[in-house]
């Protein structure tokens, strides 16, 4: 990545760059909302209505008002600067769509994993999948209105994250909050890449 990263954020590189970022997480964690909040183009959504059949499979206890679910991929685009554009691919949250996760991570610069502090246990499967595929990621706690607030160290421990894993938070409904999470992810990935090359 040719971008020069400084504490003042991005200094534009001389060549336009693009990167694929996967937005992952468990069912109902806010991935579709995140992509829609941050995308500068109308997001592509592949959703279907939640039916009686899915109610018997998917846990709707945390999201009783949820009426649709992603069955393909959410797609959005966001320029972080004039010369760096991110293409965002939101994954389905249910384990039965695991075959799509494996395809979506191919060629990704990294992943942003949204977690719900009301059900951290649900995040282990997607974290394990990303680790198995060697995809670098950051973990972002989605700040639901009724969710408890835990110290970062407790979340790090509960998710069994490596010490170097970036952990931050955002409100998936707020564009500025989502953009900040993306900037932190890209900066984190750039630092890790620089460390590997040093």
Which is nearest to 2 in space by CA: 78, 81, 107? 81
Confidence of residue 72 (pLDDT cuts 50, 70, 90): low
Confidence of residue 15 (pLDDT cuts 50, 70, 90): very low
- The CA distance from 172 to 177, in Å, is 7
Q: Residue range 128-146: average pLDDT?
A: 92
- Give CATH for domain 4-197: 3.40.50.300
pLDDT digits (tens, 9 = 90+) for 150-191: 999 999 999 999 999 999 999 999 999 999 999 999 999 988
Confidence of residue 117 (pLDDT cuts 50, 70, 90): very high
Confidence of residue 82 (pLDDT cuts 50, 70, 90): confident
pLDDT digits (tens, 9 = 90+) for 17-67: 899 999 999 888 999 999 999 999 988 866 555 455 455 555 545 555 545
Q: How far is CA 192 from CA 48, 89, 183, 184, 189, in A?
A: 38, 22, 14, 12, 5
- The CA distance from 170 to 144, in Å, is 9
The pLDDT assigned to 136 comes to 94
The pLDDT assigned to 192 comes to 82
**How deeply is 116 buried, as exposed, middle or buried, from its count of CB atoms within 10 A (0-12, 13-18, 19+)?**
buried
The pLDDT assigned to 91 comes to 87
Q: Does the pTM exceed 0.95?
A: no
């Amino acid at each position: 990545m040719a971008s020069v990263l400084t504490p003042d954020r991005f200094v534009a590189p001389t060549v336009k760059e693009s990167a694929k970022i996967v937005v992952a997480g468990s069912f109902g964690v806010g991935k579709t909302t995140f992509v829609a909040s941050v995308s500068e183009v109308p997001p592509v959504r592949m959703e279907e209505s939640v039916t009686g059949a899915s109610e018997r499979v998917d846990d709707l206890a945390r999201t009783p008002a949820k009426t649709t679910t992603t069955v393909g991929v959410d797609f959005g685009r966001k320029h972080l600067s004039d010369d760096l554009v991110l293409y965002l691919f939101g994954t389905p949250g249910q384990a039965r769509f695991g075959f799509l996760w494996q395809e979506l991570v191919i060629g990704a610069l990294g992943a942003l994993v949204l977690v719900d502090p009301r059900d951290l246990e649900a995040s282990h499967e997607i974290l394990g999948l990303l680790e198995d595929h060697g995809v670098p990621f950051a973990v972002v706690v989605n700040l639901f209105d009724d969710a408890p607030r835990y110290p970062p160290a407790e979340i790090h421990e509960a998710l069994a994250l490596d010490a170097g894993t970036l952990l931050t938070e955002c409100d998936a409904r707020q564009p500025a909050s989502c953009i900040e999470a993306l900037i932190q992810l890209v900066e984190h990935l750039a630092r890790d890449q620089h460390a590997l090359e040093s």
